[in-house]
Amino acid sequence: MVKKVYLAEPRGFCAGVEMAIKALSFLVQAFEAPIYCYHEIVHNKIVVDRFKNKGVVFVDSIDEVPEGAIVMLSAHGSAPEIVNASNEFNRLSVNAVCPLVSKVHHEAKTRASKGFEILYVGHAGHDEAIGTTAVAPDHIHLITDENDLENAIHKIGDDKEVALLAQTTLALSEWKDIQDKAYENYPELWTATRGDLCFATTNRQSALKELVKLSDVILIIGSSNSSNTLALEKVAKESGCERVYRIDSAEQIAGINLHDDDVVGVTAGASAPDDVVQSVIDACASFEPVENVRVIDEDEYFPLPSQLRNLVMDMNFAVDSMFSKLRESKGISNSASVDLKRVFQNDKEVSASEVLVG
């Protein structure tokens, strides 16, 4: 047991993750297994395992997806050639890319078409970075640290227009330091009017900084391959907390040396389900009531992928056509028509955490 638990607000699922999880959940319920997914739908082991248990097959190559199968592309964004290939061989492809990642892809494509060289700040090997650099591979320079920046500046020279883009899930400090140095070399550097860093990522980092002021221990819930979760861990340490632990689930709390006089701050990366957060809070068993630390209310909503909405409209038309003659022969009014258009009418009110638990 601990003395008290402070819980970050906001935390956990962002709008992009909400959209992707609900979209894949619909496919799982509407069609027979297997459903294929290119890369992990989100970077969270618990979420991925739950979908595996429902018959989802996660692949790292579109070639692994059979002809005529249903395939979803992950929230992190995919290379253009992957998007195109996913529609070949009569596959039904649903692209669950986060709109904020799509925005960066558009920026990269536009700047490259205008002759810019692009400094892209991101993590080598991360799905989002792989997908974005593939948009304009001849013009994008992946920057993971200041050494990469120096090498890119030397390669680009002084006679090119230069743009600066970023992986959406970075810690603010990772982006800001490189941005400042890039401006020193390129005073006319182009950057997006609205920055590339995801609002949900920065909101969670802001809430975490407030938690650090109140807590002896910080527990960050999320998987080790989640960039935004690792960014939270980095922010907590930079903010002065000496006892920072990243955990996947409540089971790992047993390995942490908590004391009955500890004040514990709890937050979660953007891919961590809320029921897992609740189990961690329960495992802490604080003497005092849990208290929320709120820095902002998030109300962002991303509609389900257009391919999925169009699919449901097509299904509605097909079902209606099949039964129209039957209704006529039985004297049934057309008002009895099947209306699949209403399937998603309450989507905004239903959380992805609820969908996963269900």
- Specify the higher pLDDT residue, 335 or 144: 144
For residue 217, the Cα-to-chain-centroid distance in whole angstroms is 26
Question: Helix, strand, or coil here: 36?
Answer: strand
Region 22-42: what's the mean pLDDT? 95
| Own/partner long-range contacts of 154-159 (Cβ < 8 Å, ≥24 apart) | 156/117
Per-residue pLDDT for 337 more than 60? no
Per-residue pLDDT for 292 more than 50? yes
**Helix axis angle, 45-53 relative to 15-30, nearest 10°?**
10
Region 263-272: what's the mean pLDDT? 97
Region 303-311: what's the mean pLDDT? 91
Which residues are identified as catalytic? 128
Contacts of 54 (CB under 8 A, 6+ apart): 28, 33
- Specify the higher pLDDT residue, 144 or 195: 144
124-162 burial by CB neighbour count: b if 16+ within 10 A, else e?
A: eebbbbbbbbbbbeebbbbbbeeebbeebbeebeeeeeb
Per-residue pLDDT for 323 more than 80? no
Residue 304 DSSP code: P
User: Strand ranges (DSSP E) for 282-350?
Assistant: 291-294
- Specify the higher pLDDT residue, 333 or 297: 297
Distance CA 144, CA 125 (A): 11
For the chain, the average pLDDT equals 92
Q: Which residues pair with 190 in a beta bridge?
A: 163
Work out the pLDDT band at 313, boundaries 50, 70, 90: confident
Contacts of 219 (CB under 8 A, 6+ apart): 245, 247, 253, 256, 264, 265, 266, 267, 280, 284
Q: Are 137 and 109 in contact (CB under 8 A)?
A: no
With 0.75 as the threshold, say if the pTM is over it: yes
Q: How do residues 58-103 score in pLDDT, each as one tens digit?
A: 999 999 999 999 999 999 999 999 999 999 999 999 999 999 999 9
Question: Which of 55-69, 134-148, 183-197 has the weakest average pLDDT?
Answer: 183-197
Distance CA 336, CA 194 (A): 48
pLDDT at residue 258, as a whole number: 94
pLDDT at residue 314, as a whole number: 79
Question: Which of 61-65, 192-196, 255-259, 305-309 has the weakest average pLDDT?
Answer: 192-196
Contacts of 59 (CB under 8 A, 6+ apart): 36, 37, 38, 39, 65
pLDDT at residue 345, as a whole number: 79
Region 236-246: what's the mean pLDDT? 96
pLDDT at residue 332, as a whole number: 63
Q: How do residues 340-352 score in pLDDT, each as one tens digit?
A: 667 787 888 889 9
User: Strand ranges (DSSP E) for 76-138?
Assistant: 92-95, 117-121
Q: Are 264 and 217 in contact (CB under 8 A)?
A: yes
Which domains are seen in the chain, by residue range? Answer: 100-191 (3.40.1010.20), 306-348 (no CATH)
Q: Are 227 and 170 in contact (CB under 8 A)?
A: yes
- Helices (H), strands (E): how many in the chain? 12, 13
| Of 55, 26, 73, 90, residue with least CA distance to 340 | 26
Work out the pLDDT band at 174, boundaries 50, 70, 90: confident
pLDDT at residue 336, as a whole number: 43
User: Strand ranges (DSSP E) for 175-331?
Assistant: 190-191, 217-221, 244-247, 263-268, 291-294
pLDDT at residue 339, as a whole number: 60
| Of 7, 8, 9, 44, residue with least CA distance to 299 | 9
